[in-house]
Amino acid sequence: MDVGKRHNIAATAPNMIRSLEGGLLSYVSDITRHDNPYVIGMGKFVDFGQPGKFIGEEALRKISEEGPERRLVGVEIDGDPFTSLNDAFWNLTDGAEKVGHVTRCAYSPRLEKNIGWANVPVEHSEVGTELTLVTPTGTRRASVCKAPWFSSQVSIPEELKEQARRA
């Protein structure tokens, strides 16, 4: 923290755009207490074979067998680049009725498009599904896409490790 002070920098959360691109989900934004591992694509980490019982096991078994009602999906959003981040969930419609919401979205300079995460019913979660996003400045077309857009970095390059050691 002391080293950062002289450069006017401080520790903070991951870069918002990079976290969107790489699928680093945010609790309370992308994931809420109403979600479960199957909604957010992490059902493979539920281990029913472990010894003993765990909280929510019965409910998770049922969801595992029947499938989730909703999914968190990536969306690409048409229109001019967003100039700020959404500070609230933005509704998604199927053209008539609300079907879900965008949790976080931003303009990605690397992709040269607006991207985001959306919580939608399973029937609206297939890649290519077209939805309408309701923003404070009007509506935009949003389409479900393959996400994350870039895989997360799994190792820190040596040159960055060296820079950190010298700092």
Per-domain residue ranges of the chain: 14-45+57-145
- pTM: predicted TM-score of the whole model, two decimal places: 0.82
Over residues 112-140, the mean pLDDT reads 97
Q: Each residue of 70-125: pLDDT tens digit? A: 999 999 999 999 998 898 999 999 989 999 999 999 999 999 999 999 999 999 99
Q: How far is 134 from 112, CA to CA, in rounded Å?
A: 21
Tokens for 139?
């509506």
CA distance 40 to 67: 12
* Helix H or strand E encompassing 114: strand 113-121
Name the fold adopted by 14-45+57-145: Elongation Factor Tu (Ef-tu); domain 3 (2.40.30)
